[in-house]
Amino acid sequence: MGFDDMDVDTIWMDGEFVDWDDAQIHVLTHGLHYGSGIFEGARCYETENGPAIFRWEEHLDRLFQSAQPYEMEIDHSREELTEATLELIRRQDLSSCYIRPVAFYGYNSLGVSPDDCPTRTAIAAWPWGTYLGEEALEKGIDVMVSSWRKHASSQVPTNAKTTGLYANSLLAGEEARRNGYAEALVLNKEGNVAEGPGENIFLVRDGEIFTPGLSESILDGITRNTVITLAEDLGYTVHDNVSISRGELNTADELFFTGSAAEVTPIRKVDNVVIGDGSRGPVTEDIQSRFFDVVERTTDEYDEWFQYV
């Protein structure tokens, strides 16, 4: 579904609410040419107490942290960004939505250095279903190991959610889809498992849960952190600082992706090798069920994770 098919009409941009079609930038914007932007992706869920943004404070933390290595000054406080987001959801009467804050170096000059370019900031929100499809949540998806490697933290700051770095994700994801897979898996420069193009990955073996550590050139995912907490609270042993070899994927009992967009999505095949019995495994189902109970507020636990609209 494209934006033209959605009932959204407003974007917050540089301190003002503007019509959706008027949220425009100059063609010589620095961020367009050099990928000098940072962004977030958060979800607002429909609950009995109204719309609630999931882990908004953590998304703001990462947004401001992502700005630091690029010496980018966001000209709006956390409080202003929060109120703008809440008002944006109210104005568009969204009961649930995906939220995209973005900050980038704007138009002034076109040298590689952005020193004299202003920082632009915008927030959009729109209805968006499950990123990899509703059916994928139950039946899982097929993925392929991409020929493209994940950039290393010695090359670029992998803990920053930077717009330009997602060229790597685009290449990996499109390679997978051209070959008939729903999504890619990306290895790091050492050949170990890093993550998906827009997701973190978890492996289940003998009832215990494993996920690559931050030193494996992954993004410190907020849904990753959520799943680690939920799994441990459910009594699972979680190893969250490990290296996972490519071969371990094929012998896993279960695999699943996590992400703000992907939520908790099972993986049934890797390179046409069936994982487990080729369906959503019991540990994945347990964690997935718990995750949706929490975000849809059918339980009153973890209330500190929510910002109500």
- 228 contacts 238 by C-beta, under 8 angstroms: yes
What string of DSSP letters covers 93-137? T-SSEEEEEEEEE-SS--SS--TTSPEEEEEEEE----TT-HHHH
**16's tokens:** 């003002």
What string of DSSP letters covers 253-308? SEEEEEETTTEEEEEEEETTEEPTTSS--HHHHHHHHHHHHHHTTSS-TTGGGEEE
Separation of alpha carbons 45 and 39, rounded Å: 20
Tell me the CA end-to-end span of the chain in Å, nearest whole number. Answer: 25
- 82 contacts 9 by C-beta, under 8 angstroms: no
* Catalytic residue flag (residue 161): yes
Catalytic-labelled residue, pool 139, 150, 161, 189 = 161
For 10, 89, 95, the CA distances from 126, given in Å and listed in that order, are: 10, 9, 10
For 212, 229, 240, 282, 283, the CA distances from 209, given in Å and listed in that order, are: 11, 12, 8, 12, 9
**36's tokens:** 């000098």
- Residues belonging to the active site: 161
